[in-house]
Structure 1
Amino acid sequence: MSNEVLTVSPQTLQDMKKYYTMNLKPKTPPGGLFAAKKSTVNITAYLSGKVLFQGATAQQEAALWSGKSSQGVTSKKNTKDLNTPLPKDFKHWSVIGSDEVGNGSYFGPLTVVAAYVDKNHFALLKELGVRDSKDMKDPEIRKVASDLITFLPHSLLTVLPSKYNAIQPTMTQGKMKAVLHNQALGHVLNKIYPIVPDGILIDQFELPSTYFKHIQDQPKQIKENLYFQTKGESHHLAVAAASIIARYAFLTSLDTMTKEAGITIPSGAGSHADLIAARLLKRGGLPLLGKYAKLHFANTQKAQKIARL
């Protein structure tokens, strides 16, 4: 069994806990923040900042976070596969960027967006307020996105919980996201044809090698001039714009679900989500909850205990 250890900041620990939300184990070891199991890897994060990866693909999993580590991963193999180096002037290129929203939220859909930003539109996007969506409040997200969708070539793919729950037992979330990104990029390339972007940038959610493995069964695979970067929003406005539109679509879907359910459907996967899920379970069981939530999250079991089902 391969073992890897990282030392990360408190903020990165919280980012990791959110990232592994759907993989969390019910018990946390003494001094730990969380324990999770993703495929063949066990991840244990401690309040001290130490994170232990154990399993057949521990190196690859640890490599996802090595860029945020204060000491680096103990074994350097495969870390070069984490990101694809960007040309020095990449931020000035005309680029298709893609990002996803909702994968860490118990309620709501998984939304994936690819958007093309011509370099001649940089000034306009900045004037509209396009930047990292994590630094924007939801009202601003809605306002900026409603402007962007009127002129920016983009593709929005939304997987509602009912469909997500049907797919998830036979497809990992990583493969699901990879297939959606690949499809969205293909749609935008068709929309802007005969224009060819200078490059394509995916906000990285897994190793590039894993991504290509996940899309190898797709009839059309977008690979040319394709780059991967964590925190893609900081590398090009195209990813920032895609993230804003994806967030907007996610929020709009939550609004629709709230009206339909007659109860506020929240974002995230915290204890509040457990309480809402328990109320839905009491009202209509798993069939009703499955219309609004991703059932494989640990929240489902927590909600069942609250509802005493």
Structure 2
Amino acid sequence: MKYYSYTFSATKVSELINHFEQYQLDPDGEYVYFYARIGDTQVRVYLPKKGHTTQKVVFSGPNPERVILNFDDTLSLEIKDTKSPPLPEDYVDLGEQIGSDEVGVGDFFGPLVVTAVYFKKEQIKLVDGLGVSDSKALSDEKIRIIGPVLKQSIDHITAVVNNEKYNSLIKSGYNQNKMLAMLHNHVLAKLRVRHPGNYPAYIDQFVDPRKFAFYLTGPQVSNVHFQTKGEYYYPSIAIASVIARYEFLLCMDELSTKYKMEIPLGAGKIVDEFAVEFKQKYGLKELEKITKTHFANYNRLIDDTK
């Protein structure tokens, strides 16, 4: 893990928040003012010290340099700290378990997908044989090959929130983390009913566990545990990440076929350029049906057409 630490003025902090707004998540610490996650890179802006107008900003991740330079290519890339707990060489629990992961969080186009998986020890040979790991580390081609095998072989439940429903929830006061909390809890609870027992439920952590519980409108699934980079610790999360990614790709295939245009993933410049092209061809109302309209991409599109 690499850490790059900077001290920014209030103006620079505002610029950073605007730049990473589409990736914003709930602050993950008491003194964190702003938190965003872009793939494996995390960005934290800390509350200013008393009497100070500047704020500490930390970029962290395996290789955060691209994210840093994309924001400001004049920033120094002197590494401040490389200490972090090593990832386990193998799964830390191979017993009976359920686990969940999500896809679509950082994609302007396409739905939000959450999958939960029920795993038993005897399935580890299949998992290892297929080369299952975090879906973000696998190519889409690999996902398309092993995804159907996992779906057929391992019990799972997937919840998909299409863009129209997603945007409606945002307008009604939900944020993305609240949606995720309710979706994770829902699919895990349904699997727990299908396979009764008090074995652990693992969630790839995306928010503070206390905030997770706060977001729920009903009881929290029992014996739940949260773990960042959970796909390296628990096979249920690793499998869930692959199935969720596969389902997301199928949804994107359907949209691309429907509109006869290959819709790009992510939320970068290529996506912005495609959004302009799509709007010119199909109009803004149709664009809103397949995008997350609270993303900065949407605001940029509207601003550019004024």
TM-score range, shorter chain: 0.7 to 0.9
Query: Following the alignment from structure 1 to structure 2, what is the Cα–Cα distance between the partners of residues 89 and 43?
Result: 28
Aligned residue identity for 1:207: D
**C-alpha displacement at 1:9, in angstroms?**
3.1
- Which of 2, 12, 27 is the aligned partner of 2:15? 27
Query: Following the alignment from structure 1 to structure 2, what is the Cα–Cα distance between the partners of residues 138 and 147?
Result: 15
Specify whether residues 43 and 26 from structure 1 end up closer, same or farther in structure 2 by C-alpha distance, changes over 3 A only: same
Q: Which residue number in structure 1 is paired with residue 206 of structure 2?
A: 205
Q: Which residue number in structure 2 is paired with residue 108 of structure 1?
A: 110
Q: Which residue number in structure 1 is paired with residue 46 of structure 2?
A: 53
Specify whether residues 44 and 252 from structure 1 end up closer, same or farther in structure 2 by C-alpha distance, changes over 3 A only: closer
Aligned residue identity for 2:276: A
Specify whether residues 26 and 142 from structure 1 end up closer, same or farther in structure 2 by C-alpha distance, changes over 3 A only: farther
Query: Following the alignment from structure 1 to structure 2, what is the Cα–Cα distance between the partners of residues 180 and 140?
Result: 26
Specify whether residues 298 and 178 from structure 1 end up closer, same or farther in structure 2 by C-alpha distance, changes over 3 A only: same
Q: Which residue number in structure 1 is paired with residue 81 of structure 2?
A: 70
**C-alpha displacement at 1:44, in angstroms?**
9.5
Specify whether residues 299 and 190 from structure 1 end up closer, same or farther in structure 2 by C-alpha distance, changes over 3 A only: same
Q: Is the 8 A contact 1:153 1:192 kept in 2?
A: no
Query: Following the alignment from structure 2 to structure 1, what is the Cα–Cα distance between the partners of residues 14 and 26?
Result: 16
Specify whether residues 26 and 132 from structure 1 end up closer, same or farther in structure 2 by C-alpha distance, changes over 3 A only: same
Percent identical residues? 32
Q: Which residue number in structure 1 is paired with residue 253 of structure 2?
A: 255
Query: Following the alignment from structure 1 to structure 2, what is the Cα–Cα distance between the partners of residues 180 and 66?
Result: 28
Query: Following the alignment from structure 1 to structure 2, what is the Cα–Cα distance between the partners of residues 176 and 185?
Result: 14
Specify whether residues 107 and 26 from structure 1 end up closer, same or farther in structure 2 by C-alpha distance, changes over 3 A only: farther
Query: Following the alignment from structure 2 to structure 1, what is the Cα–Cα distance between the partners of residues 131 and 108?
Result: 29
Query: Following the alignment from structure 2 to structure 1, what is the Cα–Cα distance between the partners of residues 139 and 298?
Result: 28
**C-alpha displacement at 1:67, in angstroms?**
9.6
TM-score, length basis structure 1:
0.73
**C-alpha displacement at 1:54, in angstroms?**
2.8
Query: Following the alignment from structure 2 to structure 1, what is the Cα–Cα distance between the partners of residues 142 and 287?
Result: 30
Q: Which residue number in structure 2 is paired with residue 238 of structure 1?
A: 236
Q: Is the 8 A contact 2:43 2:60 kept in 1?
A: no
- Which of 188, 193, 202 is the aligned partner of 1:185? 188
User: Where in structure 2 are there 5+ consecutive unaligned residues?
Assistant: 7-12, 28-32, 49-55, 63-79
* 1:84-139 deviations in Å (ceiling 9; x for gaps): xx9x9842221101000001111111000000110111112111221222221111
Aligned residue identity for 2:280: K
Moved more, 121-130 or 234-243: 121-130
Specify whether residues 71 and 134 from structure 1 end up closer, same or farther in structure 2 by C-alpha distance, changes over 3 A only: closer
**C-alpha displacement at 1:280, in angstroms?**
2.5
**C-alpha displacement at 1:286, in angstroms?**
3.0
Query: Following the alignment from structure 1 to structure 2, what is the Cα–Cα distance between the partners of residues 119 and 91?
Result: 9
**C-alpha displacement at 1:212, in angstroms?**
0.7
Query: Following the alignment from structure 2 to structure 1, what is the Cα–Cα distance between the partners of residues 26 and 188?
Result: 27
User: Where in structure 1 are there 5+ consecutive unaligned residues?
Assistant: 1-6, 14-24, 56-61, 73-85
SS at match of 2:283: helix
Q: Is the 8 A contact 2:26 2:177 kept in 1?
A: no
Moved more, 136-145 or 176-185: 136-145
Q: Which residue number in structure 1 is paired with residue 220 of structure 2?
A: 221
Specify whether residues 92 and 176 from structure 1 end up closer, same or farther in structure 2 by C-alpha distance, changes over 3 A only: same
Q: Is the 8 A contact 1:95 1:117 kept in 2?
A: yes
**C-alpha displacement at 1:192, in angstroms?**
2.2
SS at match of 2:15: coil
When the two structures are aligned, how many residues end up with a matched partner? 259
Q: Is the 8 A contact 2:100 2:117 kept in 1?
A: yes
Q: Which residue number in structure 1 is paired with residue 298 of structure 2?
A: 300
* 1:216-274 deviations in Å (ceiling 9; x for gaps): x22x421x221100000000111000000000011111110011112111110001111
Specify whether residues 179 and 256 from structure 1 end up closer, same or farther in structure 2 by C-alpha distance, changes over 3 A only: same
Residues 78-227 of structure 1: matches in 2 within 5 Å? 90-169=92-171, 170-193=173-196, 196=197, 198-215=199-216, 217-218=217-218, 220-222=219-221, 224-227=222-225
**C-alpha displacement at 1:186, in angstroms?**
1.2
Query: Following the alignment from structure 1 to structure 2, what is the Cα–Cα distance between the partners of residues 44 and 156?
Result: 25
Q: Is 1:276 equivalent to 2:274 in the alignment?
A: yes
Moved more, 177-186 or 34-43: 34-43
Query: Following the alignment from structure 2 to structure 1, what is the Cα–Cα distance between the partners of residues 199 and 297?
Result: 42
Q: Is the 8 A contact 2:25 2:207 kept in 1?
A: no
